Amino acid sequence: MSTQKLAKVLIIDDEHSSIEVMTTMLESTMTVYVAETAEEGYNLLQLHDIDIILLDVDLPDLSGFDLCKKIKSDQCFVDIPVIFISGYKDLIFEIQAFEAGGIDYLTKPISPVKMLIRMSVALKIKLPIPNAKNIRLG
């Protein structure tokens, strides 16, 4: 069995339950880095060759929107896809996410299947997604 990881993902979120859900879903197929502040996330971004970022809107030191703008203003990181993760369901937040440079916007609680599908599209790779027959509706 191959132990090679498909991608390197940086999760920047200060909510432990969200981090746990995302990490659990991703760690078997991806190398996962976790930061709980914008500063810590930016530092990890500079240290590792990150393929995709899952970014919370609300961080204790800087908004996710501002961090995304900072990331996208740096030529080294401009092409890294950023998927926003937020508890805000209002359209205004989604608009701000795209204006900041995000490529997608998912709301909490995180749907692991949706997250994997969106990441798969963003990374242009096939991630293991649970079979549709095994997903209960309603």
Written as six digits, the tokens of 40 are 């810590």
Q: What is the pLDDT of residues 37-73, one digit of tens each?
A: 999 999 999 999 999 999 999 999 999 999 999 999 9
Q: Which helix (H) or strand (E) holds 84?
A: strand 82-86
- Give the length of the chain: 138
> What is the pLDDT of the chain when averaged over all its residues?
90
Q: Which amino acid is at 38?
A: A
| Residue whose token pair is 């293991």 | 128
Distance CA 126, CA 29 (A): 11
Residue 86: per-residue pLDDT? 95
